Amino acid sequence: MINLILFGPPGSGKGTQAVGLAEKYGLVHISTGDLFRSEMGADTELGKQAKAYISKGELVPDEVTVGMLKNKVEAHPEANGFIFDGFPRTIPQAEALDTLLTGKGTSISGLIALDVSEQEIVNRILNRGKTSGRLDDNDEGIIRNRIAVYEQETAPVFDHYAQSGKSWKIDGMGSIDEIFARLCARIDTFQ
Ligand code: C5P
Ligand code: MG
């Protein structure tokens, strides 16, 4: 079983790469951002709650995000493993994930961070915003806030898994195929 955390700042290519990796390794891809967007699209209570944070580039409270993530994991008892994309984003989320997986007799195999420069991230997100329809992709101020939140609250998750030798960084600049090959080379070393 492989349980991968695909890590990195907003716009670093996690979602793009996760789709190909899920197919190649037979894993269930869970993007908490996509789950929130689907709840917002359906205008559910959860969606309304999430929108208040997402529209400002802030994080949805841990208990809300963790509850949603748990439901999604529980919905796939047949899974060979998971790719977590955009989760965990805080240390409490990482701790909740570790507890959830321990309860299932498994654990995180590794975390791979996509390393991309801040200017490249802003350019990629503004470009994506032309077609994504995402309310948080069109305003440079919101994008910069998402990056600041990443540095303050999310970056420590890298160190959390580094403590058990499970965090890796790869160059996230280059073509989609080049980055995919770098990711596979690392995943193939996981136990
Ligand atoms: O992962 P993605 O960039 O698609 O997430 C979009 C937004 O959803 C984030 O900027 C944040 O507001 C919210 N989010 C969150 N907690 C997560 C994942 C996403 O608050 N674990
Ligand atoms: Mg994404």
Confidence at residue 101, expressed as pLDDT on a 0 to 100 scale? 97
SS3 6: strand
Collect all residues with Cβ–Cβ distance below 8 Å to 12 and sequence separation of at least 6.
Answer: 114, 115, 116, 121, 172
Q: Could you identify the atom of ligand 1 that is nearest to the CA of residue 90?
A: 21
Which pairing describes strands 2-7 and 81-85: parallel, antiparallel, or unpaired? parallel
26-54 confidence digits (pLDDT tens):
999 999 999 999 999 999 999 999 999 99
Q: Is 164 helix (H, G, I), strand (E, B) or coil?
A: coil
What are the pocket residues of ligand 1 if the criterion is a CB atom closer than 6 Å to any ligand atom?
10, 32-33, 36, 53-54, 57-60, 65, 86-87, 89, 136, 146
What is the CA(105)–ligand 2 centre distance, in A? 28
Which phi and psi (to 5°) does residue 84 adopt? Answer: -95, 120
Non-local CB neighbours of 18 within 8 Å, separated by 6+ positions: 6, 29, 31, 83, 85
CA 14 to ligand 2 center in whole angstroms:
6
Among candidate residues 56, 70, 128, 186, the one labeled active-site is: 128
- pLDDT class of 191 with cuts at 50, 70, 90: confident
- Sheet containing strand 81-85, strands side by side: 28-31, 81-85, 2-7, 110-115, 167-171
Q: What is the pLDDT of residues 148-184, one digit of tens each?
A: 999 999 999 999 999 999 999 999 999 999 999 999 9
At residue 29, the pLDDT reads 98
How far is residue 24 from each of residues 21, 110, 112, measured CA to CA in Å? 5, 17, 16
Identify the burial level of 138 via C-beta atoms within 10 angstroms of its C-beta, where 0-12 means exposed, 13-18 middle and 19 or more buried. middle
The span from the CA of 153 to the CA of 155, in Å, is 6
Are residues 88 and 159 in contact, defined by beta-carbon separation less than 8 angstroms?
A: no
**CA–CA separation, 169 vs 60, rounded Å?**
26
In the block, residue with structure tokens 């090959």: 181
pLDDT tens for each residue of 75-113: 999 999 999 999 999 999 999 999 999 999 999 999 999
- Cβ atoms 14, 7 nearer than 8 A: yes
110-143 pLDDT, tens digit per residue, is 999 999 999 999 999 999 999 998 989 999 999 9
